[in-house]
Amino acid sequence: MNHLHNGWTISGGDVSDLPANVPGCVHTALLAAGRIEDPYLDENETKLAWIGRTSWEYATTFTPELGAPRIDLVCAGLDTVATIELNGREVGRTANMHRGYRFDVRPFLTEGTNSLKIKFDSPYVYAEDVRSHLGDRPNAYAEPFNFIRKQACNFGWDWGPTLVTSGIWQPIGLHSWSVARLAEVRPQATVAADGTGRVEVRVRLERAAEEPVTITASVAGRRAQATVDGIEALLILTVDDPELWWPRGFGDAVLHDLDVAVSTAGGEQLDSWHRRIGFRKVRVDTAGDAFTLFVNDVPIFVRGVNWIPDDVFADRITRARLHDRFVQAADANVNFLRVWGGGRYESEDFYELADEMGFLVGQDFLFACAAYPEEEPLAAEVEAEARENVVRLSSHPSLVLWTGNNENIWGHEDWDWKAPLAGRTWGAGYYFDLLPRIVAELDPSRPYWPGSPYSGDQNRHPNDPAAGTTHIWDVWNTDDYTKYAAYRPRFVAEFGFQAPPAYATLKRALSDHPLAPDSPGMAHHQKAIGGDQKLERGLANHLPAPGDFDDWHYLTQLNQARAVAFGIEHFRSLRPLCMGSIMWQLNDCWPVTSWAAVDGDARKKPLWYAMRDAYADRLLTLQPRAAAAPVAGGPDPVDQGEIFTAPGAPALIAVNDGRTPWAVDATVTRRNLNGDVLAASFLTATVAPGSAVTIPLPTDLTTPGDPATELVVAESGDDRTWWFFAEDKDIAWPAPAFTTEVTEEDGSTKVAVTATSILRALTLYPDRLDPSAETDRAGVTLLPGDTVTFTVTSDRPLDEKALTTRPVLRCVNDITN
């Protein structure tokens, strides 16, 4: 394709003929030209609402080669409601950001200079007109995103800004061709019971001439060929015992080159197509209310994160940026990325990286938190986008699940939608009819699930944790994170807890002086209704009251890390009853107080480190349990089928997601704050791969003399886990006492801290000294005599004194003292 990416200008409002990058959008063009302030800083977002309510025109000129009998204008993505004019004549119209368009423009082209204009209507005007015509529908936000096929979170979310974009957001160009082109290539790779690989390659042609053509396909040393008079063909290739594609932690993510070409009878190649595919089997077992993902017949405990668009402006999301984020996910022991339904069908870069790195991906169809009309003009667009994206993504082995929507079935049941709907359509026809039919037709080897959450039965509450997938949001919205322990879910597709971004991110994004939880910039970058009050409630339940902003920042980040880790460890401890944990969320699209583990400037919050530990292949955790019957004599391991049924005293649980048995030799002690051992036991268990074992503890370990001054610690090799009988706010922590040693080694700074008192949740914040600085751990609790070494990387030397004192080096003790 001959790209048309140069020479574009935009005009709209009082803006005229402003240079614009393509692919791009109006916001980034205005920002590059200095016509607007950075919308991510301070409260600048509020000044830019006019952009989404303005009509915009993109214009360029070009000189085409006119030799081919067919020349198409290929628009991979227009955002969103556009009219295309070539040399003053209308070529076509679009109304969907989530699909591409192709127009035969050969009759419109002339010799020499040609003029191309794309006129974008205001997304607001279009959506509000559709709403007026079809009747209003309930929506989680006071924005009309459910009346336009556009990225919903452009209209704002409880973590995102309201920046309603327009523009040529994907590549655009001219495709010259003759005779025939590959209009659609849809390979389906499967593995038979005997290990034989089979690739069914379905090809659909578009023709400019009626003559026989030859289609060839090749993969893994196999080749198939067919001569075609019409427009469709099926080529089948079989591969004996191919190397399989495995998800992270289970084997290599082996990929095979698949090439498809169409040629004339004389051998002239007309068009070609290339992908890397993987041989693997995938299914979801829902027997007995379960929701268990199997890959190559192996049950996978999903250690997942929810994924949102990594920037509001898609042209800034490069492959390198995605790679960095994927590395952060991999380093946190994540194996599953759920692409949330208020964003986009993710890019080829995204899926190719997932294929290469062995991530499992669940892709939502793009419906979120609202009732969606099923009438025109939206119904045809929904079908077109679904068909296009199922075909586009079905060749990627990383994609293992299609989901119909985010929270809409739940919303229809619980969010007071039924009365205002008054019988109007709300999306059920999409989720229970159209979308499963499309997946069954175009991608039959991959499972489809109607919604997230969904219990598997329309006669059952859609967010019943005892069946299918569930979202747990009462913890954040109304309750305490310890409530996770009361849940026995089968698969948790969303749960999470908020905290502010890194300090360096706040200092870059906000000019507030001084920073305070309620200072103007901080308040603007808190998008959740009642978010600050919920943060305050979470702190009050567990931690001492902050004395200043530095305390508040440390404690809210600590509480977020503890809350999510508590949930992950509990859900993993229920294996095999529960087989999935997808925390909300991995990433942010801008600097904001949110549920993310990695903030909008790509900095890891303490949550990331806690998630890394909680998602480790081998997890040792102390969980509240009450035994079904008294344990007599020595504490024998308890199979998960006999798992305890109510919160109570701590039990030691070992979870093994590794591929080899785990011999657990654990020393469990009850101690006081001075580190003195008050009771001790040595416990052993063998944990098979893909299983969990509960080890009851003797009562002398679980019965404190003074809950406010005692704790339990379990250690096995390098694994250590804690149980405190009282909340931090109710413990009289000693003044923090420790020594430090700072050294330089291999280009990094080593900060060794040796405790001479117990140190609770010791955390280093080197970004306060250098925005580039990052450490390798956070939230470490030390007993007297313990040493921990933080490894810090940075672009410049760090002041040793500042590195080892408050507010850079923090622990809970320094607040209570």
pLDDT tens, 183-235?
A: 999 999 999 999 999 999 999 999 999 999 999 999 999 999 999 999 999 99
Tell me: pLDDT of 634 over 80: no
Q: What is the mean pLDDT of residues 478-506?
A: 97
Q: Are 655 and 621 in contact (CB under 8 A)?
A: yes
The string of pLDDT tens digits covering residues 507-566 is 999 999 999 999 999 999 999 999 999 999 999 999 999 999 999 999 999 999 999 999
CA distances (Å), origin 197, targets 188, 445, 754:
10, 13, 56
Distance CA 168, CA 163 (A): 16
Q: What is the mean pLDDT of residues 333-342?
A: 98
The string of pLDDT tens digits covering residues 366-420 is 999 999 999 999 999 999 999 999 999 999 999 999 999 999 999 999 999 999 9
Tracing tokens 């791009």 back to the chain, one arrives at 24
Residues 6+ apart with CB under 8 A from 639: 693, 694
The string of pLDDT tens digits covering residues 53-88 is 999 999 999 999 999 999 999 999 999 999 999 999
* pLDDT recorded at residue 626: 67
The string of pLDDT tens digits covering residues 145-166 is 999 999 999 999 999 999 999 9
Q: What is the mean pLDDT of residues 436-453?
A: 98
The string of pLDDT tens digits covering residues 244-255 is 999 999 999 999
CA distances (Å), origin 732, targets 117, 242, 676, 711, 727:
70, 62, 16, 13, 10
pTM of the predicted model over 0.75: yes
The number of helices, as runs of H, and strands, as runs of E, in the chain is 19, 44
Tell me: pLDDT of 16 over 50: yes
Structural Rg of the chain based on CA atoms: 29
Nearest by Cα to 557 from 535, 540, 537: 535
Q: What is the mean pLDDT of the chain?
A: 96
Tell me: pLDDT of 664 over 60: yes
3-state DSSP helix/strand/coil percent for the chain, to nearest 5?
25, 35, 40
Q: What is the mean pLDDT of residues 336-342?
A: 98
Nearest by Cα to 308 from 505, 70, 599, 550: 599
* pLDDT recorded at residue 633: 33
The string of pLDDT tens digits covering residues 761-786 is 999 999 999 999 999 999 999 999 99
Residues 6+ apart with CB under 8 A from 288: none
* pLDDT recorded at residue 625: 85
Q: Which domains does the chain have, with CATH numbers?
A: 2-175 (2.60.120.260), 179-277 (2.60.40.10), 300-614 (3.20.20.80), 618-730 (2.60.40.10), 738-816 (2.60.40)
* pLDDT band for position 640 (cuts 50, 70, 90): very low
Q: What is the mean pLDDT of residues 450-464?
A: 97
Three-class DSSP category at 173: strand
Residues 6+ apart with CB under 8 A from 633: none
